Amino acid sequence: MVQGTIAQSTAVRFADSEMKRAPQAWQLDHGKRLYFGYAQGVGTMAMLKVWRETGDRKYLDYVIEWADTLINDRGEIHLYKVETYNIDYINSGKVLFEVYRQTGNEKYRLAMDRLVDQMKVHPRTHEGAFWHKLIYPHQIWLDGLYMGAPFLAEYAVTFDRPELIDDVMNQFLICARHTYDETTGLYYHAWDESKRQQWANKETGQSPNFWGRSIGWWFMALVDALDYIPAAHPQRSELIRMIGGLAETLPRYQDVSGLWYQVLDQGDRAGNYLEASVSSMFMYSLAKATNKGYINEKFRAVAEKAYEGLMNRLITEHEDGTLSLTQCCSVGGLGGNPYRDGSFEYYISEKIRDNDAKATGPFIMGCLELKK
């Protein structure tokens, strides 16, 4: 059994390691310029959680400095282009709620309003689900649920916009309807309503594989959005049911090491590998879902096994005392140029690197959940 104090100590050490590697938060995820990137949003959210657990102001100041340099007094966000209708932009808005509460600076409220204004006119499928981006028409990606849904749910509660909650719930229900696979209990990375993409199944519109990180985004979206879904909401139980389904399913695909593979259901295929972001995301989601009472306490052991696997297999300690997280897939998507076809060969061909924020952020947050 993982001791909570040890897990929290690991989270703090890793957060300090990230801050040493990236003295400015825009440098997280190997950032090269000041940017309102979704990966920096994941990394800074983890820092806020470390601040809440430890009370050490340096983690909060690290995030506030990033937000302050990104957003001007009119609430305009550096390099943000609403006309791209890119749902990835929305994710970093989650960080602004705490920054706004702690600073009282109205520019952060204005920035959040801008993001909500985007979603008011963001293109949708015929059923009302958000397209992933304008350049990916008619497509729902699991990734996008994490980027948009928890932000809109928190905005709804914070600024008394209850109608947004129903929209958030519909995003999950529509996405699940078109990506869930009954045979495996897993979710396909994406769905193309038009069925015109090369990667789309011509009958179902689904992409061909179960990419670990995409299901990690989906799982985290479910447990995070539920923080803001009213207990009396008639469809709240549907989200809890989805969480329970994942909790029952994922141990079947967990390696003996405690980790999960880049392509979840094909661990025995040459080239597949145990990947850090999916393992960290599942650790976080299972631990949080257990803490919240959404799933049986027995599933904490699955999260603890993931922690042990990460520590034993993918965490490296350097001479200066910093920690690194290895075997992180740097990026994954569908379509574009060069074209990403969603094949097994595609997913295992993407670059692997250390300390990708899509892995390090969930790792830190997962350790903190195991401490609770």
Nearest-angstrom CA–CA distance, 158 and 177:
29
Neighbours of 72 (CB within 10 A): 13
Nearest-angstrom CA–CA distance, 233 and 160:
15
Q: Indicate which residue of 29, 88, 143, 265 is catalytic.
A: 143
Lookup: tokens for 62: 């690290």
Lookup: tokens for 77: 């966000």
Neighbours of 127 (CB within 10 A): 14
Nearest-angstrom CA–CA distance, 230 and 109:
23
Specify the 3-state DSSP secondary structure of 325: strand
Tell me whether residue 227 is one of the annotated catalytic residues: no
Residue that is written with structure tokens 């350049």 in the block: 135
For residue 313, which phi and psi values (nearest 5 degrees)? Answer: -110, -35
Specify the 3-state DSSP secondary structure of 322: coil
Catalytic residues, by residue number, are 143
